[in-house]
Amino acid sequence: MPLWLYILAGACVLAGLAALLARHTIRRIEQAHPPGGRFTEIAGTRLHYRRSGDPERPAILVLHGAASNLEEPHMALADAFDGEHVIWLDRPGLGWSQRPGGAWSPRREAELIAAFLDHLDIPAATVIGHSWGGAIAMRMAIDHPARVDGLVLLAPALSAWIGTAAWFNSASFWPVIGPFLSRIAVPLVGRSQAVSGAISAFRPEPVPDAYLDRSALLLLLRPPVWKANARDMAMVNSHLEDQETAYSTIGTPAVILAGKADTVVWSHRHGGQVAARMPRGEMRWIAGAGHNLHHHHPQAVLQAIHDVRRQLRESVHSAGGAA
């Protein structure tokens, strides 16, 4: 048999073994991080969420960032939010939530989340958004202002970047290379990349103990979740260009929290400049904090919630007095 046939046969065997190992890795991840909340179906799309605290209290909706899921902010903020009425949502396509077919955008995501709040009989909520979740929170405030009675944005990504998204996001949709990335390469090497990514996200503060396990971040390595996140990130600039001109129209009270040591998002641009354009926006800096500031500074997040709620009460009182 010609040498090239031996080489081809060997390559096929290796590829098959890699595919089997990748599928085994994905099964282990799913077994280690099963759904911890409830499921509901909105317009044919299955969403996964947790609901905690006193349902008679004003609602808080928590939107996690890119490459994440509801367990990430839950592990950081659940204790601080004890007793509060909190909805922790796996954003569509991430964690254990599905994503509808067709072109996806923050506009469509905000529309689906508004319908989700309708389903839960929640007329309005204080919306917390971390990183890319901050962009979704802002889209909700633009398109569905009556559903958002306050914004608390944590190291948000709000303005178009200079440059382009990482190559592997777009490559996830290339012929041949895309399926190889999402089905084989990512499940096999993703854990080491997740470790380095966590270090960068927390720097200069320490990564919490058992962070990867408690946050269930490895759910990102499941092929449909990876592709949903990659599609978001590949289009991030066009999405933000589409909405950032409307930030000055957002009248809800808003607090933007950012770490002065954040190396993931340039918060002077994504936070300070945006807050200055919002009629009721406020920028707050946390010295020594990185991108995942909510883990080491949960009380700052809780204080921001109290402050936007106070502003809302004062505005309602003033409007009532004027009437």
User: Phi, psi at residue 53, to the nearest 5°?
Assistant: 85, -165
The reported pTM is 0.95
Answer whether residue 20 shows pLDDT above 60: yes
Is position 29 within any domain? no
Q: Is residue 266 part of a domain?
A: yes
- The CATH number for 226's domain is 3.40.50.1820
Write down the pLDDT at residue 166: 83
Report the relative pairing of strands 45-52 and 38-42 from DSSP bridges. Answer: antiparallel
Buried b / exposed e over 24-54, threshold 16 CB at 10 Å, is: ebbeebeeebebbbeeeebeebebbbbebbe
Is the model more confident about 254 or about 181?
Answer: 254
H/E stretch holding 217 reads none
Total domains in the fold of the chain: 1
What is the band of 177 on the pLDDT scale with cuts at 50, 70, 90? confident
Q: What's the average model confidence in pLDDT over 257-267?
A: 96
Q: Assess if residue 12 is contained within a domain.
A: no
Over residues 112-116, mean pLDDT: 99
Residue 23 lies in a domain: no
Q: How far is CA 227 from CA 24, 196, 285, in A?
A: 19, 20, 33
CA distance 94 to 280: 31
The residue length of the chain stands at 323
Q: Is the pLDDT of residue 10 over 60?
A: no
Q: Is residue 16 part of a domain?
A: no
Tokens for 257? 């929290």
In the predicted structure, residue 11 carries a pLDDT above the cut 80: no
Strand boundaries in 83-135, DSSP class E: 85-89, 125-130
CA pair distance 273, 15, nearest whole angstrom:
49
pLDDT at 14: 61
A 10 A CB-CB count for 11 gives 10
Residue 5 is predicted with a pLDDT of: 57
Q: What is the mean pLDDT of residues 209-235?
A: 97
Query: 27 lies in a domain?
Result: no
> Which residues lie across from 49 on neighbouring strands?
38, 89
pLDDT at 12: 55
List Cβ neighbours of 256 (8 Å cut-off, separation of 6 or more): 134, 153, 156, 267, 271, 272, 274, 275, 281, 282, 283, 284
Residues 6 or more apart from 303 whose CB is under 8 A from it? none
Average pLDDT of the chain is: 93
pLDDT in tens, 72-101: 999 999 999 999 999 999 999 999 999 999
d(CA 154, CA 259): 9
- Residues 155, 134: Cα–Cα separation, whole Å: 8
Q: Specify if 305 maps to a domain.
A: yes
Query: What value does the mean pLDDT take over residues 272-280?
Result: 97
For 302, the domain range is: 38-316
Distant-in-sequence, close-in-space partners of 22: CB < 8 Å, separation ≥ 6: 183, 184, 187, 188
User: How would residue 322 be classed by pLDDT, with cut points 50, 70 and 90?
Assistant: low
Q: In what order do the strands lie in the sheet with 59-63?
A: 38-42, 45-52, 85-89, 59-63, 125-130, 148-154, 254-259, 281-286
Please give the pLDDT value at position 165.
74
Give a yes or no: residue 111 inside a domain.
yes
Q: Report pLDDT digits (tens) over 157-174.
A: 999 975 677 888 898 988
* pLDDT at residue 312 tops 80: yes
Q: Assign 132 a pLDDT band (cuts: 50, 70, 90).
A: very high
Closest to 136 (Cα-Cα) out of 160, 156, 162, 164: 156
Element (H, E) at 259: strand 254-259
pLDDT of residue 173: 87
